[in-house]
Amino acid sequence: MISNLKAVITAAAAVIFCGAYNTSQACTNIIVTRGASKTGSVMVSYAADSHTTYGELYHVQGQVWPKGSMLKIYEWDTGRYLGEIPQARRTYSTMGNMNECQVIITETTFGGKESLVDTTARMDYGSLIYITLQRAKTAREAIKIISDFVNTYGYCSEGESFSIADKNEAWIMEIVGKGMKFDKKGKNINKGAAWVAIKIPDGYISGHANYSRITTFPLNDQENCIYSKDIIKFAKENGYYNGPDEQFSFSEAFDPATFEVLRGCETRVWSFFNILGGGKIGDKDANYYLDYALGTNPSNRMPLYIKPSHLLTVKDVADAMRDHFENTPMDFTHDLGAGPFECPYRWRPMTFTSNGKTYEFERSVATQQTGFWLVGEARPWLPDAIGGIIWFGVDDTATSCLTPVYSSGNNAPTCFRDGNGSMIQYSDSSAFWLFNRIAQFAYLRYKDIAPEVRKTANEHENGAIKIVPDIDAQALRILRENNNDTTKVKEYLTGWSEKFANRMFKTFRKLDEYLLVKYIDGNIKKQNPDGSFMNNGHNAKIPPMPYQNGYPQKWYDAIAKDHGDKMETPAPAK
């Protein structure tokens, strides 16, 4: 993917392919409306998960294009050239998955029926996201642009759930192609897509994780629900549904539930509903929906959206994205697969067999294959040039941190910038490689090292949240002094985002060095009350004997059972 990015970076921001559950089990979104937010902002979180994704923050500068300009379209997951479309006369600047108008678009892929993919179409899901971001000033406008794109050029990707938000509204839009049916001239007469978009009511939260979540929807409420005009007719004509229109379920028609999908995808939605709902999902205890999340009762569907237990902050949303099912029935930090140090990761593939039975590892929100993650925050009380912040991070959500980057900026910070390293090229100035170094070490002694990483991440994120209002105030002063000309304020916010990201980078590089010194060779060096390392009292460079905590008894017992006949110490002779 990355190798094909350069050819189109001036036309559209990059997207990292997040495949369906049965391919790369990727991506998680949380959506927070204004009334569910402590500050009154709209928030959307996104983890872009793929084993081949390099974490970068792509910036595309908006501009006025010459009349008659054309835009080349490339399929984002393969780089396959799809054709050209007319370029918009005016495009907006984008910073990752957010634009300068505070519009946010993210995704998760649910796949759906393979027969609905149209390989002849010119628009894939990535193009829909990033080209739309360059053209839309509101969420509703984004939905219309996406609809116009697929009607005009077709849709060539799998089933997709989009989170689409602006500073006032938040929506879920789900879309599938119509497959291919050719007339005598070889033209695909099924060109287009079946789609539905639901507005999340103010005061509620929602989300999705690689499974279609929209079931029935109102047919005559355009304020809160928009859909393709022939969606039900198409489903009936193709045998996906045969009941009354008002009982039509998008999910059941186009993405029927399976055990694997529910267990690998809806468990994540259940988990962040459980966390942010304070143990309740709607008016029921979260455990009421546990059989659904575990894949054993597909008919017991969770609601599309719920009220949170309290008004949410950026930190609340970010921390929910770090979840490993801790303290739930899916908690996998204590079984034998976690190793002696409670590692909440299982190396792929997800399934394995033993004694003729098939087993499935859990797939939590936090996962090792995350390329980048974010919380987009649209703030309606501020001008667009100041209001949009993309809280951006790279690599595993549980062992990295978010840092604020203003979406109106002229450049992405250097440590996140396109071209600073790649998945096969190490860069010592790349945040992705720095956080990967930390994560790989943490995976070895997770119980000991992860809390230290989390402490540093908390300090950075909480510090950023505290300082952002001061930066906003300074930016407003600059805007007023320049008669609302945004040039100077964008320069200021670009510079500040760069400096703060650089501060983050230096902090975590220092942490990387500290962790290596402290935990080298499986030991744990002793420390003074101020955090400095002890010496042996004779030589400042020689430490005392380190802690050697060994393994938990459960692990010793497992080793003895597996290999004890080769290791057992003979009893002393009497």
- Predicted confidence at residue 169, as pLDDT, reads 98
- Predicted confidence at residue 87, as pLDDT, reads 97
pLDDT in tens, 503-517: 999 999 999 999 999
In the chain, domain spans: 1-522, 528-574
Encoded amino acid at 277, one letter: G
% of the chain at pLDDT higher than 90: 91
Given a cut of 70, is residue 25 above it in pLDDT?
no
Confidence of residue 91 (pLDDT cuts 50, 70, 90): very high
Q: Which residues contact 220 (CB under 8 A, 6 or more apart)?
A: none
> What distance in Å separates the CA atoms of residue 527 and residue 515, rounded to the nearest whole number?
13
Confidence of residue 571 (pLDDT cuts 50, 70, 90): confident
| Number of Cβ atoms within 10 Å of the Cβ of 99 | 32
In 3D space, the residue among 46, 55, 72 whose CA is nearest the CA of residue 1 turns out to be 55
Answer whether 17's CB lies under 8 Å from 130's CB: no
> What distance in Å separates the CA atoms of residue 150 and residue 125, rounded to the nearest whole number?
10
Burial of 122-157, coded b for 16+ CB within 10 Å and e otherwise, reads bbbbbbbbbbbbbbbebbbbbbebbbebbeebbbbb
- Predicted confidence at residue 19, as pLDDT, reads 38
- Torsion, Cα 228 233 238 241, to 10 degrees, reads 100
Q: Give the DSSP H or E segment for 200.
A: none
Q: Which residues contact 490 (CB under 8 A, 6 or more apart)?
A: 385, 408, 409, 410
Q: What angle do CA 144, 34, 285 make, to 5 degrees?
A: 105
> What distance in Å separates the CA atoms of residue 104 and residue 100, rounded to the nearest whole number?
10
Poorest-pLDDT segment among 11-25, 275-289, 443-457, 542-556:
11-25
Residue with tokens 């792509």, as numbered in its chain:
58
> What distance in Å separates the CA atoms of residue 396 and residue 413, rounded to the nearest whole number?
19
- pLDDT: which is higher, 184 or 331: 331
> What distance in Å separates the CA atoms of residue 394 and residue 371, rounded to the nearest whole number?
6
Given a cut of 50, is residue 460 above it in pLDDT?
yes
Average pLDDT over residues 136-161: 97
Given a cut of 50, is residue 360 above it in pLDDT?
yes
- pLDDT: which is higher, 26 or 172: 172
Confidence of residue 24 (pLDDT cuts 50, 70, 90): very low
pLDDT in tens, 58-72: 999 999 999 999 999
Burial of 194-215, coded b for 16+ CB within 10 Å and e otherwise, reads bbbbbbbeeebbbbbbbbbbbb
- Predicted confidence at residue 6, as pLDDT, reads 31
453 Ramachandran zone, left/alpha/beta (phi>0; psi -120 to 50) = alpha
Among 116-120, 189-193, 229-233, name the most confident range.
229-233
Indicate the average pLDDT of the chain.
Answer: 93
Given a cut of 60, is residue 9 above it in pLDDT?
no
Average pLDDT over residues 420-433: 97
6: number of CA atoms within 13 Å, CB side?
A: 4
Confidence of residue 381 (pLDDT cuts 50, 70, 90): very high
Given a cut of 80, is residue 310 above it in pLDDT?
yes
Phi, psi values for residue 74, rounded to 5°: -120, 140
- Predicted confidence at residue 503, as pLDDT, reads 98
Phi, psi values for residue 84, rounded to 5°: -125, 155
Confidence of residue 572 (pLDDT cuts 50, 70, 90): confident
Confidence of residue 194 (pLDDT cuts 50, 70, 90): very high
% of the chain at pLDDT higher than 70: 96
- Predicted confidence at residue 228, as pLDDT, reads 98
Q: What is the DSSP string of 497-535?
A: HHHHHHHHHHHHHHHHHHHHHHHGGG-B--B-TTSPBP-
pTM for this model (two decimals): 0.93
Residue with tokens 């670009």, as numbered in its chain:
494
Confidence of residue 16 (pLDDT cuts 50, 70, 90): very low
Average pLDDT over residues 530-534: 96
Confidence of residue 143 (pLDDT cuts 50, 70, 90): very high
Q: Give the DSSP H or E segment for 182.
A: none
